[in-house]
Amino acid sequence: MEEDGDVNGGGENRREISKEGSIHGFESVHRLLEASLRPEIYQEVSRLLVGLNCGRPLERISLPNITENLSLSHDFDLQAFCFHAEKEAMRPPRIVRVGLIQNSISLPTSAPFPDQKKAIMQKVKLMIDAAGASSVNILCLQEAWMMPFAFCTREKRWCEFAEPIDGESTRFLQELARKYNMVIVSPILERDVNHGETLWNTAIIIGNHGNIIGKHRKNHIPRVGDFNESTYYMEGNTGHPVFETAYGKIAVNICYGRHHPLNWMAFGLNGAEIVFNPSATVGELSEPMWPIEARNAAIANSYFVGSINRIGTEVFPNPFTSGDGKPQHADFGHFYGSSYFSAPDASCTPSLSRCRDGLLISDMDLNLCRQIKDKWGFRMTARYEMYAETISQYMQPNFTPQVIVDPSLQKPKV
C-alpha cells in the first residue's frame, strides 16, 4: 500500500464521481471512451491506448452462465479476454487462464475483528467460486485481502489480523484450490512466529493440490505521505523467487515494488512468465501512474503482469492526521480498483471498475513471452555487466557521478 499525501485534495471530487459513476457511465476510462466515441474512432484510440495483440484488437471471451450469474446476483464487475501468441512449429501453445480479484471490505472497521475477516472471506469466496466455475488456473487476490488496509492509522491493534503462513486464510484458500484445481496467490499480513512474532507483508503461493508451494515477502516498503508502512513491517528477505506451478512460472511484486524497475527486472531474470502486482493504492497522484508502470514492466521484461488494486473507502474508528497540515480525518481515500492485465507485446486489457468489486479473467498463451524475447532481444542487448558495475559504484559513500560540466560555467568570474 502507498499513498500520495493528497487524500483531502481531490478526494471529495473523486468520490462523488465514483458514487455517481452511472452519470458518466464511468466505471473505467475504456468504458467511458467506448460509450462516448464513434466506433471507428474508438477503434483507433484503442489501438494506441491498449495496443494490438497479434495484429488485432484484444479478443473478449465468454464465460459459463454460472460465472455470469454470480456476477449479476452479487454485483461484481466481470470481464474476460484472451491474449494470443503466434503458432510455433516446435512446441504447442501453452494457454493458461488467469484471474484477478478486487474487492472492498464487507463490514465496518468498528465490527469485531473475527467478524470482519469472516465477512471478507465470505465475499471473496463467491468470486473464487465464479473463477472456479470458469476453470481459472491461477488466481491472485489483492494485497492484505483478509483485512482493512488499516496501516494509515498507525494503530498497532490491527496487527491482530496477522496470520502465520499456514493460518486461517491459507487453510480457507487451500480447500478452494483443491476444489477447483487452481493455483491461488494469497497476499496477507504475515506473523512469523518462528522469528519472534515478526510481521511481514507476504504473498503465499498455494498449489493446485492445496499445497503451500512457498511465500514471497514485499521487497520495497513505502514511506510516503501521511503514513509509513514500515510502522508495521520491514523490507522482505525472500529475494525474487519464481514459483514453478502446474500452470507456469509466476512471481509476485507486491504493491510499492511496482515503482522499482529493478524489482520487476529481478523476477524476470529468474524466469517469471506472469508477475502479479497485488496493490492497495489511492489518490490523485497514483492513479495516472497505474496504467503505466505494470505495462512498462511487461514490455521491458517480456512477461505478463496482473495488476490488482482494492476497492472503496475504508473509514476507521479513530481519526488520524496526514502530516499535510489538513484536518484529521477517518479515511484514507478511495481505492480505485482498475485491475488489469499487461502483455509482453505492449497490449493490455481494459481495466476493471473503479468503484465495484470485480473478477478479471484472461487466457494467455505463455509462448508469447519467448516470442517477444526472440523478436525484440531486450535480454541480449541489455549490457548487464555495465549496470552491475554502475550500481556497485553508486552504492559507495564516495561515489562520484559521471558529470561533464560545461567549461564556461567553471570560468572564474571577472
C-beta of 267 vs 316, nearer to a second copy: 267
Buried b (16+ CB within 10 A) or exposed e, 322-339: beeeeeebebbbbbbbbb
Catalytic residues: 143, 218, 255
Shortest Cβ 265–a second copy spacing (Å): 7
Q: Where are the alpha helices (DSSP H) in 25-112?
A: 29-36, 39-50, 65-73
C-beta of 160 vs 235, nearer to a second copy: 235
The CA distance from 37 to 32, in Å, is 9
Binding status of residue 408 toward a second copy by CB under 8 A: yes
Of the candidates 217, 206, 202, the residue with the CA atom closest to the CA atom of residue 139: 206
Within 135-154, the residues that bind a second copy by CB under 8 A are none
* Interface characters, 177-206, with a second copy (x: CB under 8 A): ----------------------------x-
The CA distance from 280 to 95, in Å, is 29
Among 116, 169, 245, 281, contact with a second copy (rule: CB under 8 A): 245
Binding status of residue 6 toward a second copy by CB under 8 A: yes
Binding status of residue 96 toward a second copy by CB under 8 A: no
Binding status of residue 86 toward a second copy by CB under 8 A: no
Candidate segments 42-50, 57-65, 87-95, 171-179, binder of a second copy by CB under 8 A:
42-50
Query: In this structure, what DSSP letter does residue 241 have?
Result: -
C-beta of 70 vs 185, nearer to a second copy: 185
The CA distance from 205 to 203, in Å, is 7
Among 113, 168, 270, 370, contact with a second copy (rule: CB under 8 A): 270
Binding status of residue 391 toward a second copy by CB under 8 A: yes
Shortest Cβ 411–a second copy spacing (Å): 10
Shortest Cβ 210–a second copy spacing (Å): 10
Among 64, 317, 323, 377, contact with a second copy (rule: CB under 8 A): 377
Binding status of residue 412 toward a second copy by CB under 8 A: no
Residue in the structure block whose three cell numbers are 488494486: 309
Query: 320 in helix, strand or coil?
Result: strand
Q: Give the amino acid at 222.
A: P
Of the candidates 140, 145, 139, 141, the residue with the CA atom closest to the CA atom of residue 117: 145
C-beta of 152 vs 213, nearer to a second copy: 213
The CA distance from 196 to 211, in Å, is 25
Dihedral sign of CA atoms 238, 280, 82, 177 in order: positive
Among 11, 291, 306, 312, contact with a second copy (rule: CB under 8 A): 291
Among 84, 123, 295, 329, contact with a second copy (rule: CB under 8 A): 295
Binding status of residue 385 toward a second copy by CB under 8 A: yes
Within 49-78, the residues that bind a second copy by CB under 8 A are 49-52, 55
The CA distance from 29 to 382, in Å, is 34
Binding status of residue 95 toward a second copy by CB under 8 A: no
223-224 and 138-140: which strand pairing?
Answer: unpaired
The CA distance from 399 to 232, in Å, is 32
248-252 and 227-228: which strand pairing?
Answer: unpaired
Beta strand ranges found along 177-226 (DSSP E): 183-192, 198-206, 212-217, 223-224
C-beta of 38 vs 91, nearer to a second copy: 38
Q: How many residues bind a second copy (CB under 8 A)?
A: 101
Shortest Cβ 27–a second copy spacing (Å): 12
